[in-house]
Amino acid sequence: MWGSSARVSRWIDRMLSPRGLSPWVRPAEFQSNVYIPWSWVAVKVRIPWSRVAVNRCYATATTADPQKKPDMFCYQCEQTKARKGCVKVGVCGKSPQVAALQDLLVYALSGLAMHATRAHALGVWNSDECDKFFQSALFSTLTNVNFDPERFPAYIFRAVQFREEIRAALLEDSMRTKRPFDEKLHHGPAVWTPKKGFKDIDFLESEGRAVGVLEDQAVFGPDVNGVRYLTIYGIKGLAAYASHAAALGEVDPWVPKFMYQAFDFLVSADPDEQHDLGANLKLALKVGETNLRVMELLDKGHRRMFGVPEPAEISTKPVPGKCIMISGHDMMDLYQLLPMAATAGINVYTHGEMLPAHGYPGLRKFKSLVGHFGGAWQNQKMDFALFPGPVLASTNCVVEPLRSYRDRLYTLNDTGINGVKHLDLHDSDQMKRLIEHAKSCDGFDEALISKFDPKTLTVGFGREAITQHAATVLNAVAKGELQRVFVIGGCDGSEHKRNYFTNLAKSLPVQTLILTMGCAKYRLKDLNFGNLGNTGIPRVLDMGQCNDSYGAIMVAKALAAALNTDINSLPLSISLSWFEQKAVAVLLSLLSLGVKNIRIGPVLPAFLTPNVLQALKDQYGLEPVDIRHPEDDMHHMMDEHK
């Protein structure tokens, strides 16, 4: 009747874990006895606390000395404390309170996903608004997106509100069709609601501290839990890309359905499957496969709205006049800003990952788009402080501001910083205030401009710009002028170890091309690599944002087709600069395509345990970069497939 004793033990353990709490048990209410919903026999069983083998981490969280529990635990980005996880405050600047609220939001979204998965399967509910919210809410939990604790109660409330709407539809369907209501929807995130209300941030924080990584790790162990969070972080990156695509009017109903199903598996699948490393790796690869569909949508949206990217040279020398700067990734935000700024006579500058905007004809046509200011996202404290006008943070890669420019900073969309003004570009009154703010600032004058050392940056090498030179490239391969193509891209960061990617590029023979995308481009921007032989093609081709990684995949596929081979047989090497959850999604996409021998670094994320890394090495040849010896890496990559 019960199956193996191990299976029963895992089931009881799951029922007592934070993700399996019954609707009548609250984390703060565990006393000497607990009630467990024994859905298999439909009875309540009263079990003395002293006789229950609860999971170790949950016991630590609720019964042990609270001083022994860390203030927070987060290891979702690569740059964590001691490469194990941030336990006092995030290296990114995230507070323990925000970390707990984000964990609780993901927990609430899991309950929403459980209901949505079943409602979609039965055809009793569908909501584009909920799909958009789900993606947006996940986006808010990415690294360097939202540090404002005041914003998260509204996200959590909305998640529960949508969940209850779906629950009502499922209950109505059950009554009408006499189908039994799924017992899995009677516990854990499927029924969680804060008794003290959604406005009590301190109480929500205490709830969030009971549902994080450590609690799950006690149930699943570090290896399986590492893959589970590889999946969760990949879905977060997927949600970010889906949000970008949706802003451009590109949606695919299958994408949110998959995200719901993935979370449903993580919180309510059969225990044997949940604990199976292979099943979890399979789900992670499915995230990568789905992310490819999303990135194709994003690519389509960019080209439909702004045209095909074209190579263009951009000066970093400011021009006189009042100004606004926009940082982040969302091109649609820039598109909305430019005509309003033009009407008001305000100059607009891009920053960080917005640099590729200058390659789009549909954006470059606005005279208000005058140039680019500053470097990669991690330099924003210096760049924003020097900029003499308002600054808009559109997406991820925002950091806690300095006092010198805090009153000039605005957050957009899902970004947030406590005490910083949040702006809705669709609100005409708010936009008028932004324009007036820009007019009240000093702007650039000749004296200030003279203090900057101007540079010329080349952008716009989208896949079309590269593939139109396919014949030249193939001829260079035949002549031996091109021996290998390197993809050196991804996320940048402040660590000195990231000089590895600069040193790797500098070590490459002149018979190589470098494709770069993402803010890792800033590791190469100040170097002169010249052209490839006599082809006239620059050796470094900037393909755009991390959002444009799809273009690099299309170039690889086109090259493989032209050479009548597969991607893994191409003279192509990939070295990815790792940082946050979008990088997880891109890596999983490459693995889902079967791409092998990828190198990632500068160091590996904490959730990628040695055992999981070995599994990925065995199947895909995934390797960490050799930080100290980039030339050794270069020689290994040059020798591949010879």
What are the 10-residue block averages of pLDDT along the chain, 642 residues in total? 40 40 31 30 32 30 53 92 89 96 98 98 96 98 97 98 98 96 96 92 96 95 97 98 96 97 97 96 98 96 96 95 97 97 98 96 97 94 97 94 97 97 95 97 97 92 90 90 93 86 95 92 90 93 89 90 91 91 95 95 92 95 95 93 60
As to burial, measured by CB atoms within 10 angstroms (0-12 exposed, 13-18 middle, 19+ buried), residue 243 is buried
CA dihedral 111→112→114→118, nearest 10 degrees, is 150
The tokens 């402080």 sit on which residue?
Answer: 385
**Is the same domain home to 100 and 207?**
yes
CB 259 within 8 A of CB 135: yes
Please give the model's pTM, rounded to 2 decimal places: 0.88
Distance CA 538, CA 530 (A): 6
Do 492 and 398 lie in one domain? The reply is: no
CB 530, CB 504: distance < 8 Å: no
Q: What is the CATH number of the domain that holds 107?
A: 1.20.1270.20
Give the separation between CA 548 and CA 286, rounded to whole angstroms. 20
Are both 480 and 534 inside the same structural domain?
yes
Same domain, 287 and 335: no
Determine which helix (DSSP H) or strand (DSSP E) holds 220, and give its type and residue range.
Answer: helix 213-247
CB 438 within 8 A of CB 323: yes
Nearest Cα to Cα of residue 556 among 574, 539, 538: 574
Q: Are residues 121 and 174 in the same domain?
A: yes
Query: Quick check: 546 and 517 in contact, CB under 8 A?
Result: yes
Nearest alpha carbon to residue 325 among 354, 358, 362, 351: 351
- The 3-class SS string of 449-461 reads HCCCCCCEEEECC
**Please, are residues 405 and 385 in contact by the beta-carbon 8 Å criterion?**
yes
Helix (H) or strand (E) holding 342: helix 331-344
| Total count of domains within the chain | 3
Residue 401 and residue 226: Cα distance in Å, rounded?
Answer: 32
Q: Are 250 and 300 in contact (CB under 8 A)?
A: yes
**Residue 371 sits in the same domain as residue 411:** yes
CATH number of the CATH domain containing 570? 3.40.50.2030
* Distance in angstroms (rounded) separating the CA atoms of residues 616 and 555: 25
In sequence order, the 6+-apart residues with CB closer than 8 A to the CB of 216 are: 17, 19, 225, 228, 229
Residue 15 belongs to a domain: no
In a domain, 3, yes or no: no
Helices (H), 468-548: 470-479, 499-507
pLDDT (0 to 100) of residue 642: 59
Token pair 């052209």 is found at 531
What sign has the CA pseudo-torsion 15, 277, 80, 525?
Answer: negative
Last residue of a domain, one of 300, 323, 346: 300
DSSP string, 91-107: TTS--HHHHHHHHHHHH
Domain membership of residue 498 as a residue range: 460-639
Helix axes 96-122, 152-177, angle to 10 degrees: 20
Do residues 323 and 296 both lie within one domain? no
